[in-house]
Amino acid sequence: MSETFDAVVIGSGLGAATAGALYAKAGHSVLMLERMESFGGAASRFIREGQVFETALHETTAPRDGDVKEEVFRALDLFDRVTFVPVPELHEVRATALGAPFTLPHGYDAIAAAVADRFPQHAGAVRAFLDDLEHIRHLLSLTAHRGGLGWWVRHGPEILSDLRHAGRDFGRSLSEMLDRHFGADETVKAALVPNLAYYHDDPDRLWWTFFAVAQGEYYRHGGYFIRGGSTVLVKALLDVIRAAGGQTRAGRTVHEILLDAEGRAAGVVYRDSHGGLQTARAPIVFAGCAPEQLADMLPADRRAAFLAPYDGKTRSLTLMQASLALTRPAADLGLTAYSTVLVPDWMTGLRDLKDAAALIGDDPRPDRLPPLTVVDYGRIDAGLPGPGPAPVAVAALDRLDNWEGLSDAAYVARKTAWLDALIGRLDREWPGFAQAVRLSDLATARTMAHWMGTPGGAVYGFAPDAPAGMPKPPTKVDTTIPGLFLASAWAGTGGFTGVMVGGKAAADAAL
- CATH classification at residue 495: 3.50.50.60
Nearest to 342 by CA among 424, 426, 417: 426
d(CA 200, CA 354): 9
CA angle 304, 307, 312 (to 5 degrees): 120
Same domain, 77 and 170: no
Min mean pLDDT across 70-79, 461-470, 489-498 is at: 461-470
> Using one digit for the tens of pLDDT, what is the confidence trace for 62-74?
998 778 789 999 9
Candidate ranges 90-99, 207-216, 488-497; pick with highest mean pLDDT:
90-99
Whether residue 203 is contained in a domain is answered as: yes
Same domain, 491 and 432: no
Same domain, 326 and 412: yes
Whether residue 212 is contained in a domain is answered as: yes
In one letter, which amino acid is 358? A
173 CB burial (10 A radius; 0-12, 13-18, 19+): buried
Whether residue 92 is contained in a domain is answered as: no
Residues in the chain: 511
pLDDT, residue 67, reads: 80
Choice between 411 and 138, residue whose per-residue pLDDT is larger: 411
pLDDT, residue 293, reads: 94
Mean per-residue pLDDT for 383-390? 96
d(CA 175, CA 239): 43
pLDDT, residue 159, reads: 66
pLDDT, residue 66, reads: 72
Whether residue 23 is contained in a domain is answered as: yes
Same domain, 170 and 235: no
The boundaries of the domain holding residue 333 are 318-457
Contact in structure between 244 and 22 (CB atoms under 8 Å): no
Min mean pLDDT across 48-62, 284-298, 423-437, 473-487 is at: 473-487
Same domain, 296 and 352: no
Residue 151 has pLDDT above 60, yes or no: no
**Beta carbons within 8 Å of 145's beta carbon, 6+ residues apart:** 66, 71
Same domain, 56 and 131: no
Same domain, 206 and 122: yes
Q: What are phi and psi of 314, to 5 degrees?
A: -105, 150
Residue 384 has pLDDT above 80, yes or no: yes
Q: Kindly indicate the confidence band of residue 141, based on its pLDDT and cuts at 50, 70 and 90.
A: low
Same domain, 425 and 496: no
Same domain, 147 and 64: no
Same domain, 299 and 356: no
Nearest to 82 by CA among 241, 214, 240, 230: 230
End position of a domain, from candidates 412, 437, 457: 457
7-10 and 30-34 strand pairing: parallel
Total domains in the chain come to 3
Same domain, 200 and 187: yes
Whether residue 133 is contained in a domain is answered as: yes
Whether residue 462 is contained in a domain is answered as: no
| Per-chain mean pLDDT for the chain | 92
Nearest to 5 by CA among 25, 31, 23: 31
Whether residue 242 is contained in a domain is answered as: yes
**Beta carbons within 8 Å of 362's beta carbon, 6+ residues apart:** none
Same domain, 443 and 474: no
Cross-strand pairs, 259? 265
d(CA 414, CA 403): 9
pLDDT, residue 235, reads: 97
